[in-house]
Structure 1
């Protein structure tokens, strides 16, 4: 039986054999320098990158978050349709800020602030001429199909062709009349004062693996401070109250320009916490960016808008409504984060994986020594010894003699 490169007479002898690799020491300044340099690079990678930069000695967990918002502010407008009107939070936050209420237009961690609007007042359910456009222009009743309703139109066709104007005929529809007329929103925006509105963002986070909880209203923040502070990255970075104009400015946008057609703004809250350090070091970092497209070469359907209506009943009990096409800014609040804390298991795993790379140092040095060095033939003869199946005992005897 062959075991460890020597001849075993029995299983017992083979069991008590011990094999060890042959070590070839090359006394060369160039090879020695290369070897130490490679070792230094691997050790620097283990200590500098894995342990220090990537904190390979820590176990990690991702954040679980909940967000609530509260917008405040008042605006004053004076228009021909609405007259002198005051706008408070119940008017310009769509849908209203009601706890435990969710609607189809409301999503988690977001809110919409009205900044501009087109108004169609005094609509009633009646018959009127469709607005001119593809599928609505006609010359006789035959061009209008009774009962036809297109999702892109405003109502159901009655089958009659009537005058929309003195020179143009369109199909009659049963709808909320008068129909909404398409047009550009006012510029400057009607609710230009919305730039001074403020929003309180309350964010609670949890790292379940470490049983760690915190919120962005930090322990030193009290009621009196909260009633007058406004977030400023330099002078007041811990305040959770943000002025809408400042959010747009932080994202490199002009609020008044954005308010005309609306848009989508992202508020990013990042919680990166090293739980080996004091808890007070774990604080949120706020960043802001615009999320919707504003490419001037691809400006079809710009901004962000929604439609909603306010319903009334007149003196005779007939229902009327005021249709509002509202333009505004939708704020999406996104919470990210990762926490780390020392754990012996990932520490040993990362250090072990790093130390295993030291084995590559010998491979690199062997490749250079046996390929590029002047005495590569001599090194090869010393490093590798070839022994055939026959003459093994005689070779060993020759060496011993």
Structure 2
């Protein structure tokens, strides 16, 4: 009987009550980048978190801009169709007015005009002009985005017992390091990119982490020093991996 009592109470923790856990995760990105173009205009300037985090909040997700196609001073007027639409012509008869082309950017005016992108003529269109140039360069606009930091805050609550835990240590000044600081919830984006590359998907590294972050939270709410494996106020994530 003593053996059964010890097995049930201690090993299987039969003395415990159980409760469903409630959890919430919030994220915050910080950092600045100097680029040769800004949202305000075609001139050098600073990008801050309000510029590159769009939308400001998402459900269980973040979006950080690392590259952008910026088209300035657009207005509704007439301009040559983009070469990418392949709306080529030889004369006005090839551009029936008030018609459109699948994949085009506007409504034809009825004129065949010179293209600013090619020796071939194209149909003129009513549209927002100048048209966007969708060609991305090999170098991202925000070259210092790898140094932005992502703070992942994880809160858990056991409502039955009124006990809450979080993964934020006091006086948070750390930054995650796979060897020396594995429990810090502040990640350099370049480090997350390295996690993706280490997973054997080098092509995804150029897009940083577009899959996910999975944290494993281990916490103890026990108050009995003999049984508890961690201090009663502890709550620490102990792994980081990119989720595929």
- Same-fold call, TM cutoff 0.5: yes
> CA 1:149–1:264 in 2, change beyond 3 Å: closer, same or farther?
farther
- 8 Å contact from structure 2 (residues 85, 103) kept in 1: no
- CA distance in 2 between counterparts of 1:253 and 1:154 reads 41
Mapped pair 1:167 → 2:119:
yes
- 8 Å contact from structure 1 (residues 75, 193) kept in 2: yes
> CA 1:59–1:271 in 2, change beyond 3 Å: closer, same or farther?
farther
**Partner residue in 1 for 2:165:** 214
**What RMSD, in angstroms, separates the aligned Cα atoms of the two structures?**
3.6
Shift of 1:229: 1.5
Mapped pair 1:68 → 2:26:
yes
TM-score (norm 2): 0.71
**Partner residue in 2 for 1:121:** 72
- 8 Å contact from structure 2 (residues 150, 187) kept in 1: yes
**Partner residue in 1 for 2:176:** 231
> CA 1:143–1:217 in 2, change beyond 3 Å: closer, same or farther?
same
Of 243, 247, 254, 2:192 maps to: 247
**Partner residue in 2 for 1:176:** 128
**Per-residue deviation, residues 81-117 of structure 1 (Å, max 9, x unmatched):** 833312222222222x4xxxxxxxx531222222223
TM-score (norm 1): 0.46
**Partner residue in 1 for 2:35:** 77
- CA distance in 2 between counterparts of 1:251 and 1:74 reads 23
**Partner residue in 1 for 2:240:** 287
**Per-residue deviation, residues 341-366 of structure 1 (Å, max 9, x unmatched):** xxxxxxxxxxxxxxxxxxxxxxxxxx
3-state SS of 2:146 partner: helix
For residues 79-158 of structure 1, the aligned pairs below 5 Å read 82-95=42-55, 97=56, 107-133=58-84, 136-149=87-100, 152-158=103-109
In structure 1, the gaps of 5 or more residues are: 1-46, 98-105, 292-401
Structure with the largest fraction of strand: 1
3-state SS of 2:64 partner: strand
Shift of 1:73: 1.3
3-state SS of 1:137 partner: coil
3-state SS of 1:251 partner: helix
- CA distance in 1 between counterparts of 2:113 and 2:160 reads 70
**Partner residue in 2 for 1:318:** none
> CA 1:78–1:181 in 2, change beyond 3 Å: closer, same or farther?
closer
3-state SS of 1:160 partner: strand
- CA distance in 2 between counterparts of 1:180 and 1:229 reads 42
Shift of 1:190: 2.8
